[in-house]
């Protein structure tokens, strides 16, 4: 997070342009709002003001803009959106910085373009979470009896693992990735909710798993207990939608708000899958 700056000279209000969409599958449109300047606002407080006013720049009264947020301290990832063309968290995007460093006149807000829009700036990130299921991003310790203390983790592994554990599943890395393309399905008439969910999951599973999940696989394959499932995780990385889709553009690492060394994870995953596939080839 950058330091809050002082008030930009001679500004008492600024414009906000928002890409709105009423419902999934509907056409999107730009809407302009004017917001009174206050020191130390973030994009969430801007959105709160806009929702309270619910009036556009030309005086039309409109429905309040919808958005997601939760922690307000850049640890939940819910408020991720595209601000001035770059994906980031709305809660930690400070208005003073945006006006001073990017555009003194206006702030542009768009929903992430790689996920289906639910409404306005809210998107459905279920593909991101499905990828974590596919990646088995957990340590399997559930059982019927006491397993005792887990094995020790060496300081070296801890040092490698800790940065990866900071992922908040925000989706920035996916939004910026040129190889991660949008998958949006619509429910067919006569399809039950369950059938639709199942079809969505199956489609997501064939699309690119994403940098966040590749990195989580490396994290859990490093863990002494998580390791037991290493082969199953690597199988997922070589399955349809696996690591092979990555084109090494390295945008993911450049935009990750948690500064997770994603491309290091990707290269390690490349090495691990190389070894895994060769091993499987000779073991069968």
Nearest C-alpha neighbor of 225 from the set 284, 150, 167 = 150
**258 interface partner picked from ligand FES, another protein, ligand SF4, none, CB below 5 to 8 A per type:** ligand SF4
In this complex, which beta carbon is closest to ligand FES, that of residue 67 or of residue 180? 67
Q: Closest distance between ligand FES and the C-beta of residue 127, in Å?
A: 19
What is the radius of gyration, based on Cα positions, of the chain? 22
The torsion defined by the Cα of 153, 158, 161 and 165, in degrees rounded to 10, comes to 100
**89 interface partner picked from ligand SF4, another protein, ligand FES, none, CB below 5 to 8 A per type:** ligand FES
Q: Considering the rule CB under 6 A, would residue 71 count as an interface residue with ligand FES? A: yes
In this complex, which beta carbon is closest to ligand SF4, that of residue 21 or of residue 215? 215
**91 interface partner picked from another protein, ligand SF4, ligand FES, none, CB below 5 to 8 A per type:** ligand FES
> Considering only residues 222, 256, 269, 272, which one is a binding residue for ligand SF4 as defined by CB under 6 A?
256
- Burial of 138 from C-beta contacts in 10 A (0-12 / 13-18 / 19+): middle
Q: Closest distance between ligand FES and the C-beta of residue 88, in Å?
A: 9
In this complex, which beta carbon is closest to ligand SF4, that of residue 67 or of residue 180? 180
> Considering only residues 91, 107, 222, 262, which one is a binding residue for ligand FES as defined by CB under 6 A?
91
Those residues whose C-beta lies under 8 Å from the C-beta of residue 211, and which sit 6 or more positions away, are 173, 174, 177, 246, 252, 253, 262, 265, 266
CA 236, CA 214: separation in Å to the nearest integer?
10
Given strand 80-83, what is the order of strands in its sheet?
A: 28-36, 13-21, 106-110, 80-83, 86-89
* Residue 222 CB neighbours (<10 A): 18
Euclidean distance between the first and final Cα of the chain, in Å? 50
Nearest C-alpha neighbor of 37 from the set 18, 17, 15 = 15
* Residue 30 CB neighbours (<10 A): 11
Task: Point out which residues bind another protein (CB under 8 A).
Answer: 85-86, 176, 178-179, 181, 188, 190-192, 195, 198-199, 202-203, 206, 238-251, 254-255, 261, 263-264, 266-274, 277
Q: Closest distance between ligand SF4 and the C-beta of residue 18, in Å?
A: 23
In this complex, which beta carbon is closest to ligand SF4, that of residue 50 or of residue 91? 91
Q: Considering the rule CB under 6 A, would residue 260 count as an interface residue with ligand SF4? A: yes
CA 103, CA 98: separation in Å to the nearest integer?
6
> Considering only residues 79, 237, 243, 262, which one is a binding residue for ligand FES as defined by CB under 6 A?
79
Q: Closest distance between ligand SF4 and the C-beta of residue 256, in Å?
A: 3
CA 91, CA 43: separation in Å to the nearest integer?
6
Q: Closest distance between another protein and the C-beta of residue 82, in Å?
A: 8
What mask of x and - would describe binding to ligand SF4 in positions 224 to 253, judged by CB under 6 A? ----------------------xxxxxxx-
- Give the binding site for ligand FES (CB under 6 A): 69-72, 74-79, 89, 91
């Amino acid at each position: 997070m950058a330091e809050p700056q002082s008030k930009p000279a001679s500004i008492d209000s600024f414009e906000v342009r928002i890409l709105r969409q009423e419902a999934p599958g509907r056409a999107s449109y730009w809407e302009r709002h004017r917001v009174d300047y206050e020191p130390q606002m973030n994009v969430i407080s801007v959105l709160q003001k806009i929702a309270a006013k619910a009036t556009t720049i030309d005086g039309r009264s409109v429905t309040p803009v919808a958005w997601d947020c939760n922690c307000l301290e850049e640890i939940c990832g819910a408020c991720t959106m595209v601000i001035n063309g770059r994906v980031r968290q709305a809660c930690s995007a400070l208005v003073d910085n945006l006006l001073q460093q990017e555009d003194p006149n206006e702030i542009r807000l768009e929903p992430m373009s790689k996920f289906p829009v639910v409404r306005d700036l809210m998107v459905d990130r279920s593909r991101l979470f499905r990828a974590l299921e596919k990646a088995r991003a957990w340590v399997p310790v559930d059982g019927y009896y006491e397993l005792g203390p887990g094995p020790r983790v060496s300081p070296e592994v801890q040092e490698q693992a800790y940065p990866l554990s900071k992922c908040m599943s925000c989706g920035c890395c996916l939004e910026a990735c040129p190889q991660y393309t949008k998958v949006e399905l619509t429910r067919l008439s006569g399809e039950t909710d369950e059938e639709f969910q199942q079809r969505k999951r199956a489609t997501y599973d064939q699309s690119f798993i994403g940098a966040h999940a590749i990195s989580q696989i490396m994290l859990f394959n490093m863990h002494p207990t998580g390791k037991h499932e290493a082969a199953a995780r690597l199988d997922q990385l070589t399955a349809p939608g696996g690591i092979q889709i990555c084109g090494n553009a390295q945008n993911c690492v450049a935009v990750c708000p948690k500064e997770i060394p994603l491309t290091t994870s990707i290269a390690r995953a490349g090495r691990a899958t190389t070894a895994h596939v060769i091993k499987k080839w000779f073991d069968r």
